[in-house]
Amino acid sequence: MKPIRTAIIGFGKIAEDQHVPAIHNNPRFALAGSVSRQGKGPAPNFTSAEDLLAAVSDLEAAAITTPPGPRFDIARLCIEHGLHLLLEKPPCATLGEVEELRRLAAAKGTTLFTTWHAQHNGGVAAAKKLLAGQRLRSMRITWHEDVHKWHPGQQWVFDAGGFGVFDPGINAFSVATAILPAPLFVREGTLFFPANAHTPIAAELAFTSPASDGQLSASLDWRKTDGEEWTILIETADGAQLKLLDGGARLQLNGDEVAASSVGEYPDLYATFADLIDRRESLVDVEPLRLVADSLLVSKREQVGAITV
């Protein structure tokens, strides 16, 4: 089949480290250009989506990997030009923007794929299968990392619309909503805001679910400097204990490792993207973003010391 000519809009570290290799290693795609503010990236490179669309007439698809703030306008323009779209997480800054993109893509007949890369880790599908039809006794999400390691010098994460600690925390939400046998709802929480930031640096949250009679909680924190902890610990009503580690890459059942295989998060994303394009279908999942929005609606606020990025 003729490769799908695809551009990357918002060329930065995640695009260079993950999207470029995934495109190059998938024969269904051909990298046809890139956009970044500095005009640096795979040639032909541009400084705006408008310039890209004007110059590359045979473009068929785009991966939008910008911060969430400007993504809606870029995506809307690309849909108007008939492009199939892969949106890096989180898909947009608001739920309303995602719903409008869903409507526009459906009207245009193009594919819209809101990606959650953590869902494509090897242990996630296995955990979902083990939890199917189960009732839960408890769940504890622990998502701790160092903002200075993962977002050095990136002030936008602490600006309004930058998501703060929910930028990594939404990965945990994407895994939880993928594996749990029923929806998850935020009951209450406390969000910790640096004195000079508009988004939280940490969060403690409590949830409810129709599938659980016990305690469901999450601890998100960007202040951990001695290594990452990305785990989800679940106990079922019958006493089984499942633990997802390394962001979902590993799964343990009652302390024993469960074999889990995956081609990799981003290779699997692009395989799914090609399949959706072939079927002229979209995959729009807003549940992780809904949990972020609900957390901001129902949580208390506490101020902590100023942050320097």
Active-site residue list: 89
The two three-digit tokens of residue 192, written as one number:
């910790």
Amino acid at 192: F
Please list the alpha-helical segments (H only) found in 132-206.
Answer: 147-150, 166-179
Q: Could you give the CA distance from residue 308 to residue 262 in angstroms, rounded to a whole number?
A: 37
Rg (CA), the chain: 20
Listed residue (305, 282, 293) closest to 101, CA to CA = 282
Task: Determine the Cα–Cα distance for residues 176 and 212; give it in Å rounded to an integer.
Answer: 13
Q: Do 138 and 253 form a contact (C-beta atoms < 8 A)?
A: no
Is residue 60 classed exposed, middle or buried when 0-12, 13-18 and 19+ CB atoms within 10 A define those classes? buried
* Alpha helical stretches, state H, 223-285: 265-279
d(CA 295, CA 271) in angstroms, rounded, equals 32
Structure tokens at 69: 């703030």
CA 275 to CA 273: how far, in whole Å? 5
Are 161 and 69 in contact by the 8 Å Cβ rule? The answer is yes
